[in-house]
Amino acid sequence: MIDALLNYQLKDARIAHGELGPVIRAMMTRVQGSVASKLTLNWIGFPIRTDVRLPLVQANEAEQELILHDLRRVYWQL
């Protein structure tokens, strides 16, 4: 997106920005960012613990499904 913008390819930059929308929504709005990041890393195969310390809380099943739905919209294989 940045390369396209710097090369004055505004249409391509706009398309790339639009494609990032579901990822940004999944990682930053459904649950706290570190919770979503840990879940996503675990889903793509990194063997990390997904538990979090207070004051953070785990994502419930409904929140996890929303995150998965958003990431699958941009063709992430999860």
CB 23 within 8 A of CB 74: yes
CB 26 within 8 A of CB 67: yes
Q: Residue range 6-30: average pLDDT? A: 91
Q: Residue range 33-54: average pLDDT? A: 91
Q: Say whether 1 sits in a helix, a strand or coil.
A: coil
Predicted local distance difference test score (pLDDT) of residue 11:
94
CB 39 within 8 A of CB 59: yes
pTM for the model stands at 0.76
Output the six-digit token pair for 44: 């793509």
